[in-house]
Amino acid sequence: MSVEQTKTISTNKKAFHDYFVIESFEAGIELCGTEVKALRKGGVNLKDSWCSIDEGELWIKGMHISPYEQGNIFNRDPLRVRKLLMHKREIMRLLGQTKQQGLTLIPLSIYFKGSLVKVQLGLCKGKKLYDKRDDMAKKAAQRDIERNLKEQNR
């Protein structure tokens, strides 16, 4: 039995700042060859991307994959809409949750699992401004604690 290696390509830090992640899912993504080569070089931006469900299919929008330098005519549009691959049952469950509870599907990270490219999706609820301030205050306090502990251990 072989253990599959996972290598993170990119994470969406803005998603964790703007949303509460309630649940996360793994989905495959439909890519062309030059896009995979660009991903191997790390040329992806998930910052302003989101997911939608249209006619029973899951799509990722706003994800930017930089054109591959040696790809010439085979390069695709960097911002094209790409299909995500999940079981129909899971997609319908996500559709129900986004419609009823007002949640959003946000890509949290993109990574290689073996030789396959996978996307981690988060079922998210938006944060209010005061929630963001609370999180920033907690992080600042944690940094101060770690800094003081580091100084004491010298």
Instruction: List, for residues 1-48, the tens digit of each pLDDT value.
Output: 456 788 889 898 888 888 889 999 999 999 888 888 888 888 888 888
- Identify whether 2 is part of a domain: no
Tally the domains of the chain: 1
Instruction: List, for residues 92-144, the tens digit of each pLDDT value.
Output: 998 988 888 878 899 999 999 988 999 999 998 888 888 889 988 999 999 99
- Identify whether 151 is part of a domain: no
- Identify whether 74 is part of a domain: yes
CA–CA gap between residue 38 and residue 19 (Å, rounded): 28
Cβ 97 vs Cβ 125: under 8 Å: no
pLDDT at 129: 87
pLDDT at 32: 82
Region 144-150 average pLDDT: 92
- Identify whether 98 is part of a domain: yes
pLDDT at 2: 54
Residue ranges making up the domain that contains 80: 7-127
